[in-house]
């Protein structure tokens, strides 16, 4: 029951942050302590939950992109994944991938929250297919396990795509345990730096960014990347200059 005298109550309806927790003596009220412990447990579970590849594949197949390929990094266990980020950036093998030369390749990666991919991955991919499909060719999707973002450089190069889009589970926090991020890399190949990527984060409707809006931003960034010939830091600063010259790009990237 909400306390009518609680100053913070209206503000809590617009944020997931822990604000105005109150106190009981020199500590927190029991309710707030239990909420914190529950959130901490959810975050830990999200990190360690294994990705159900078969279930995700079953959700992805109806989208019409073809049979999903599965790639695993050189990580051998979840604990090693957390201790050795370097191994998560390198594939164990890429034998299941075919060079297709499409405009866009999409990778569904478990990252630090496989739960996020379970909760939102297929729906977000569906929004991307709807938004990008009429303008660009899309390669069959790849599901990557024990993956870091840079694993997509190897996948994109093997597929021969112009741009690789990675949907990946973000590091869980004490407010959100199932948030997805999207990373875009133009001309993917091993050795790309993180500064050569663009990121869209906090995708977890209804409280975070929605699928359709995220897909719209991806479309805009792809248009800018193709015009500029690169992604990353320069793509984030270039639109203002482009707009001043009256250029809009083929994906409306001047609004990013």
pLDDT tens-digit map of 81-107 = 999 999 999 999 999 899 999 999 999
- pLDDT value, residue 184: 97
DSSP letter string over 124-172? HHHHHHHHHTTTS-BPPPEEEES--TTHHHHHHHHHT-SEEEEEEEPPP
- pLDDT value, residue 89: 97
Measured between alpha carbons, how far is 121 from 146 in angstroms, rounded to an integer? 16
State which residues of the chain have pLDDT below 50.
1, 239-256
Note the pLDDT tens digit of each residue in 133-175.
Answer: 999 999 999 999 999 999 999 999 999 999 999 999 999 988 8
DSSP letter string over 75-99? --SHHHHHH-TTGGGSBS--TT---
- Taking alpha carbons only, the member of 49, 19, 40, 82 closest to residue 176 is 40
- pLDDT value, residue 16: 73
Local structure of 198: helix, strand or coil: strand
């Amino acid at each position: 029951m909400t306390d009518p005298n609680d100053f913070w109550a209206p503000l809590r309806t617009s944020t997931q942050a822990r604000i105005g927790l109150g106190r009981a003596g020199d500590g927190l009220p029991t309710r707030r302590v239990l909420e914190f412990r529950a959130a901490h447990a959810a975050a830990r579970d999200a990190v360690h939950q294994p990705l159900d590849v078969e279930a995700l594949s079953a959700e992805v197949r109806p989208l019409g992109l073809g049979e999903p390929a599965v790639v695993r990094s050189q990580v051998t266990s979840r604990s090693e994944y957390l201790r050795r980020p370097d191994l998560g950036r390198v594939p164990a093998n890429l034998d299941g991938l075919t060079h297709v030369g499409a405009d866009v390749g999409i990778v569904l990666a478990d990252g630090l929250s496989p739960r996020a991919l379970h909760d939102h991955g297929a729906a977000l991919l569906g929004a991307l297919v709807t938004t990008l499909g009429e303008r660009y060719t899309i390669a069959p999707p790849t599901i990557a396990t024990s993956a870091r973002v840079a694993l997509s450089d190897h996948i994109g190069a093997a597929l021969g795509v112009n741009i690789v889009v990675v949907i990946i589970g973000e590091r869980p926090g004490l407010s959100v345990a199932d948030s997805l991020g999207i990373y875009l890399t133009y001309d993917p190949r091993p050795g790309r730096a993180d500064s050569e990527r663009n990121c869209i984060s906090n995708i977890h409707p209804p409280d975070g960014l929605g699928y359709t809006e995220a897909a719209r931003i991806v479309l805009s960034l792809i248009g800018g990347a193709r015009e500029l010939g690169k992604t990353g830091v320069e793509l984030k600063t270039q639109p203002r200059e482009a707009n001043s010259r009256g250029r809009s790009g083929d994906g409306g990237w001047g609004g990013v």
